[in-house]
Structure 1
Amino acid sequence: RGVRVGPEPHQVVPVVPAACVFDLGRGGDWRARPDASVGRAAAEAAGAAGTEVALGNVGAGTGAVVGAVKGGVGTASVRLASGATVAALVVVNAVGSAIDPHNGALYGEYGDGPLQLPGAEAHLRAQELIARSRERMGLPPLNTTLAVVATDAPLSRPQAQKLAGTSHDGLARALRPVHLMHDGDSVFALATGAHGDPSDGGLDSVELNHVLAAGADVVARAIARGVRAAESTDGPGGTFPSYCDLYGS
């Protein structure tokens, strides 16, 4: 039961209220889908790991692809002048590319300090390999880039919704093109309120603007980090080279 997304009768996706990365057809079993028990196991594993968050080809990033290059899980955070922290965890799985075709730089690293660009010869070779990978993909891909942006600043529900909206700008900075008809991009925002007291009136407009701007920044950086952390895969669903294998670390 579900929406037919492949040539075979069993290649369907159930219609359920959830946000899932679409990686069916990239290997594995079409009948192996996440459920409540998998979500609980993931949350417990994350809690047991403490502050260390696994990156790259892990969890929902296992079958992630960005453009024709391997995607994965990435994180980033920033401590604001107010002392509040804004952080993002992104599963990078987009139709668009994270790589500037002109020089091999990651879009998400623009504005994040001086860039160390790969040499022209390495870039040309990498672009040829990416083109071959894209040809092997065949049909238009179905993708979803998911992000969670969290802060310890005290946000109201409308302010958290605004943070989710501004954080989408980070997707547009790090992926091109973005928000296409074959993408299902979603950003979720949450606020613990541990830094400050909402009963004091919450953030003033200046502090809130800093949080909103940081949301887009950390999403863009997390996307770049997820692409850098990903590892090449070669399986029944196709061969997807990693950024580091193409360009070096």
Structure 2
Amino acid sequence: MRTGPHNALTDVLGLRVGHASLTGPGALSGTTVVVSPPGGVVAGVDVRGFAPGTRETDLLDPRRMVQRVDAVVFTGGSAFGLSAVTGVMERLEAAGAGFPVPGGVVPIVPAAAVFDLGRGGDLQARPEAATGAAAFDAASEGPVAQGAVGAGTGAVVGGLKGGVGTASAVLDGGAVVAALVVVDSVGSAVDPGSGVLHGARAGLPGEFPDVAVDQAGLAALRAAAAAASPAPAPAPGNATTLAVVATDVTMDKAGCAALAGMGHDGLARALAPAPAATDGRTVFGLSTAVRPAPEPLELFTVQAVAADVVSRAVAHALLAAATVTTAAGTFRSYAETVIGSVSD
């Protein structure tokens, strides 16, 4: 097994990813869009936690009529930020993509939001339709920007700066499994005893730097996390981690939902304590269905790898995130605190 050429969600051929972040005083939020290839992708979802902020997830129930989606949106701004979906839908409608109806199309765009309200200092600085449109316009099949971008702009993980992360795997038979995460959680991505990222343990050879954290580094990590707590860091009831897991093997909606469930296992391995009532989490499963339906052994492998790519994506999000200072506080990055790479 190896990574794809970008080690990103876009290694699943046809998927495009775009980000847009808010700018200006008091802003620390944004939107990320995963755009499907023409004709859409099969999708399922697994929503957990006490207070999910979602849109159109009921359509992904295998009992519902719609079989394919045209995009998936992740956004900051809590429920307010779901208005970013409108901008994505308008772009898709203009391109003629969506569910056919008399006289036009209705784009199918499931979405989920993270709770980053006020982390930039202004509670009303949150994504809107124009943010979604900008993320759509930025979408490409190339490398995916990670860290404090798009929907991960205001994310915080256990007191450290969170963000967007992505990873991929190409199986021996050629099938691709990839994930993109927006990590915003009460739980920590860091092993408190060693200072190593939990998700890095699932890494492929040479994927992550060898990090040996001494006692001074551990103390710095604890101090950085404590400085952001309890506010405006995530607190129980207002933290959410989002993920999308995609593959090019053929799956139906139920199979995609099962793939999403394996993504939750990846989150549980990468964040501790494991996401529970304190952390909302929504995982989408996508299939571009360009490869044949897997035989049982390949299906088991795809599902197992799905958990690993999510864990790896969480680690990449922490490594890519940069320290951010706003009117609401300072959120130190893992890399700057432990590895010593200075970021603005």
Regarding TM over 0.5, the answer is yes
1:133 corresponds to 2:224: no
Shift of 1:204: 1.0
Distance in 1, Cα, partners of 2:183 & 2:78: 22
Shift of 1:183: 1.6
53-62 vs 174-183, greater mean Cα deviation: 174-183
Residue number among 309, 317, 325 corresponding to 1:234 in the alignment: 325
Task: State the identity %.
Answer: 47
**Higher normalized helix content (fraction of residues):** 1
Distance in 2, Cα, partners of 1:12 & 1:45: 22
1:179 corresponds to 2:275: yes
Distance in 2, Cα, partners of 1:138 & 1:93: 9
The 5 Å alignment of 1:30-41 reads 30-41=123-134
Shift of 1:139: 8.2
Instruction: Report the count of equivalent residues.
Output: 233
Shift of 1:27: 1.2
Q: 1:8 matched to which residue of 2?
A: none
Distance in 1, Cα, partners of 2:298 & 2:234: 46
In the superposition, relative to structure 1, how do residues 24 and 193 fare at CA in structure 2: closer, same or farther (>3 Å)? Answer: same
Asked whether the 8 Å contact 2:81–2:127 carries over to 1, the reply is no
Distance in 1, Cα, partners of 2:170 & 2:233: 43
1:158 corresponds to 2:268: no
Distance in 1, Cα, partners of 2:117 & 2:149: 16
Distance in 2, Cα, partners of 1:171 & 1:64: 15
Q: Provide structure 1 residue ranges, at least 5 long, that are not aligned to the other structure.
A: 4-10
Distance in 2, Cα, partners of 1:12 & 1:73: 16
In the superposition, relative to structure 1, how do residues 216 and 128 fare at CA in structure 2: closer, same or farther (>3 Å)? Answer: same
In the superposition, relative to structure 1, how do residues 147 and 12 fare at CA in structure 2: closer, same or farther (>3 Å)? Answer: closer
In the superposition, relative to structure 1, how do residues 80 and 24 fare at CA in structure 2: closer, same or farther (>3 Å)? Answer: same
Shift of 1:95: 0.9
1:21 corresponds to 2:117: no
Q: 1:147 matched to which residue of 2?
A: 243
Asked whether the 8 Å contact 2:185–2:234 carries over to 1, the reply is no
Distance in 1, Cα, partners of 2:235 & 2:302: 36
Q: Provide structure 2 residue ranges, at least 5 long, that are not aligned to the other structure.
A: 1-50, 52-76, 83-109
Residue number among 204, 207, 210 corresponding to 2:295 in the alignment: 204
The 5 Å alignment of 1:98-117 reads 98-112=189-203, 115-117=210-212
Letter in 2 for 1:247: V
Question: TM-score normalized by structure 2?
Answer: 0.62
Q: 1:7 matched to which residue of 2?
A: none
Shift of 1:166: 1.1
Letter in 1 for 2:120: G
**SS where residue 185 of structure 1 aligns?**
strand
1:190 corresponds to 2:281: no
In the superposition, relative to structure 1, how do residues 33 and 128 fare at CA in structure 2: closer, same or farther (>3 Å)? Answer: closer
Deviation by residue 1:114-155 (Cα, 9 ceiling, x = unmatched): 953222222223323322332554783511111011111111
**SS where residue 46 of structure 1 aligns?**
coil
Q: 1:55 matched to which residue of 2?
A: 146
Question: TM-score normalized by structure 1?
Answer: 0.85
Q: 2:157 matched to which residue of 1?
A: 66
Distance in 1, Cα, partners of 2:308 & 2:267: 9
Deviation by residue 1:52-105 (Cα, 9 ceiling, x = unmatched): 211111111110000100001101000011201000010111110001111110
The 5 Å alignment of 1:72-111 reads 72-111=163-202
Shift of 1:36: 4.1
